[in-house]
Structure 1
Amino acid sequence: MDANFSDRWMDNTPGIYKLRIDELILPGTHDSGADREAPKMMLPNEITQDVPVRDQIMRGFRVLDLRVELFPRQPIGHPRRFQLYHLTASGRTVADDVLGALNAFYANPRRQNEIIILNFHQFKNFTEASHEELHALIDQTIGHRLIPYSQSYLTLEQLRQQMPGKSVVISYNRRSGDGHWPGVEQQWIGENYISTSTLKVFMDEASSKPKRPYALRAIQCAKYTGLYVPDDFSDKVDLWFASKDSESYIQRFHIINTDWSTRSNIVLNCMHANQFRARAKG
C-alpha cells in the first residue's frame, strides 16, 4: 500500500462505515512498544517490531498492544514515569511515544476518521493510585478524542455524525473507568515455542468460537523461534490472511496482532476484508 494512503485507509474503505468498532477487521501490533529504534537497549528476545508506535499508526496499524511499567522514582507528571516494556522497559513512554504520537497523527484533518484502539494490556509495579494517575494522564492528553464504551453500539457512520472528532478507544485490561472499554479478549495459545502449523491449528479453533457483541477480541498471531527470538513468518501471515472474497479465512477474525507487523501485507488485507464484511451486513 502507498505510504501516502495507509495513514488513512479506514476513511477510504468503501462500506466500512456500516460496521461497529467491534465488528471491524483490524491490523494490530504485538508488544507495540518493543521496537528496534527504542532508546533503551533490549535483548533480541524482547524486540518484536521494526518501527515505533508513531510509524506503526502511520503505516495503518490500528490496535496497539501496550504493556506499561511504573517508575516510581520519576516524579508525577514526568514522561518517563510510565514506560512501555516487554521483559524490560524499552524507554518508550506512554506520554510522548503513544499519546503524543496520537495527537500528532490526528493533527492532520484527513485522519480524523481513523479509529485507533489503545489496549493497555499489562501493568508492572502498579498500585491503585498509579492506575488512577495513568487514567488522568490519558484523559488530560487525549480525553477529547475518546469514544466512551457507552457508545460501542454505534456504527462508524453514526460515530462520525454524532461524535465528530472522537476516534480513540481506550481498552483497559485491569478495569474500565471514565468511559474506557473493557480489556481486549486475547486469544493466545499460551506458549511461545511452537511451529507455524501448531499456531494455525490454534487459530482455526479460536476463530470458531463466537464473539460476544460489542467485545473487542484479538488473535495473537505470534511465536518465537528455537533461538528464543520473535519469529518472522510474514510469508505465512500473508498466505493465511489473504483477502480474496467473503469466504476468505481473514473473515473469521477481528483484531489480528503480529510481530514484525510492517513486513507483511496485513493492513492491505484488512482493508480489503472489511469491504466484504460490510457488504455481508447489508
Structure 2
Amino acid sequence: MKHALNNPYITRNFNPNNWMSDIPIIDSLSLAELVLPGAHNAGVDKKASYTALGISHWAACQNNSFYYQLTHGARALDLRLEYAVGGDGVGTFWFQHNGFRSSRSLESLIMSVIRFLDENPDEFIILDFHQLNPGNQRFDYKEFNRLLLTHLGNRLIPSTHVFLTLGQLKQASHARRVMVAAENHTELDSTYFCEYIEHEWSGIGTASVSELNVHITKVMKFPPGGSLPWSLSATSYNVAEGPVNIREHLDRWFDPALSDWVLNSNIINADFFETSNLVRHCRTANLIKANNH
C-alpha cells in the first residue's frame, strides 16, 4: 500500500544523529508505537578485534562501534554479553556472537551511550540485552546491574514509564532517554530493567533471503501489538560468508511507499543497517504514524 503524506519533513534531508528530536511531531508516540532502526548483534563489528584470528567476517554483524551505530541512526541495540574473569582475576563483560568474543566491552557501550546523549540529549535509545551468557564464569548479574545503574542510572527510563509517549518522557525528565531490557533476574533492579524484548526470528540460523521473506510475511499477517517494544529479525546468514548485507531487500521491503511492513514494525533488527535506507524509512513511517495518531 502506498502512503502519501503532505509533510515537508518527509522529503527534506536529515541528520541521522538526531533524526528523532528533529521531528517533534513523533513526541505523541510511545517507544512501542515507534518504528526504530535496530543494530543486530551491535557488539560485534568489523572494527573490533576478536579472540581468534580470521573470524571477523563470520562474527561481525555491524561495520563499526556503538557510537558509530548511534550517530548513524540506530535507536535499538541488540546486545549479547558474556562474563569472563581474566588471568589477573578481573571480571569483564564482553560482547559476543555465537561464542565469538569481540573486543567491545560493557564499559565501551556505556561510554558510547553517554557521549552520544551528551551530544544529542533528546534522542531515545533501547538497550536490548538479549543474551546474558556465562563465559568462563557464572554471569555476574549483580555486577552487571551495578555497572549500568552507577554509570547510566540518571539516564535510564523507569520501567513504569516505558508506556509513556516521548513527549511525556521529556516532561518527566530532561535526561532519562534510555530504556534497558533484559531477562528477569532477582539481582537486576526492576525499577529500571524492563521486561525481556521478544524477537520475532525465523528460527533458521542460516536463513536465506527467500526464507527471511517468508518469515517476515508470516509475522506481518499478525504483527505483535501491545504496550511493550518487540523486535523483528531482518537478517540473513551464509555459512561461507557470515552475516549477509541485504540492503537492497531492506530498502524494498520496508519502503512505506511500497508496503505496510515498516508501519507494522517496532524494532527492525538488521545487520549493517546504515548501508541501507532503513533509518530514512523508519523516520518516514514515524511521521506517517504520528500524523495519523
TM-score between the two structures when normalised by the length of structure 1:
0.90
Mark the CA change 1:201 to 1:274 in structure 2 (over 3 Å): closer, same or farther. same
Question: Contact between 1:67 and 1:84, CA under 8 Å: does it hold in 2?
Answer: yes
Mark the CA change 1:113 to 1:42 in structure 2 (over 3 Å): closer, same or farther. farther
Question: Contact between 2:36 and 2:75, CA under 8 Å: does it hold in 1?
Answer: yes
Question: Contact between 1:119 and 1:173, CA under 8 Å: does it hold in 2?
Answer: no
Mark the CA change 1:185 to 1:105 in structure 2 (over 3 Å): closer, same or farther. same
Partner of 2:33: 23
Matches within 5 A, 1:124-203: 124-125=133-134, 130-175=140-185, 177-203=190-216
| Structure 2 residue 118 is matched with structure 1 residue 103 | no
Partner of 2:100: 88
For 1:9 and 1:133, the matched residues in 2 are separated by: 34
Partner of 1:236: 249
Deviations along 1:33-81, one digit per CA (max 9) or x if unpaired, are 11111033561211111111110001110011111110123778x6x71
Q: Which moved more, 1:5-14 or 1:119-128?
A: 119-128
Question: Contact between 1:3 and 1:59, CA under 8 Å: does it hold in 2?
Answer: no
Partner of 1:280: 292
Give the CA RMSD over aligned residues. Answer: 2.3
Partner of 2:237: 224
Helix, strand or coil at the partner of 1:12: coil
Deviation at 1:100, TM superposition (A): 0.6
Deviation at 1:252, TM superposition (A): 1.3
Partner of 1:112: 121
TM-score between the two structures when normalised by the length of structure 2:
0.87
Partner of 1:52: 65
Question: Contact between 1:183 and 1:216, CA under 8 Å: does it hold in 2?
Answer: no
Q: Which moved more, 1:144-153 or 1:128-137?
A: 128-137
| Structure 2 residue 51 is matched with structure 1 residue 38 | no
Deviation at 1:130, TM superposition (A): 0.7
For 1:130 and 1:88, the matched residues in 2 are separated by: 19
Aligned residues: 275
AA partner of residue 274 (structure 1): N
Question: Alignment partner for residue 254 of structure 1, among 250, 266, 269?
Answer: 266
Partner of 1:123: 132
Structure 2: runs of 5 or more not aligned: 1-10
Question: Contact between 2:32 and 2:228, CA under 8 Å: does it hold in 1?
Answer: yes
Question: Contact between 1:119 and 1:171, CA under 8 Å: does it hold in 2?
Answer: yes
Deviation at 1:263, TM superposition (A): 1.0
Matches within 5 A, 1:58-73: 58-73=71-86
Helix, strand or coil at the partner of 1:10: coil
Q: Which moved more, 1:213-222 or 1:201-210?
A: 201-210
Deviation at 1:208, TM superposition (A): 2.8
For 2:211 and 2:138, the matched residues in 1 are separated by: 39
Structure with greater proportional helix content: 1
Deviation at 1:118, TM superposition (A): 0.5
Helix, strand or coil at the partner of 1:105: helix
Mark the CA change 1:193 to 1:88 in structure 2 (over 3 Å): closer, same or farther. closer
Question: Contact between 1:149 and 1:181, CA under 8 Å: does it hold in 2?
Answer: yes
The percentage of aligned residue pairs carrying the same residue is 27
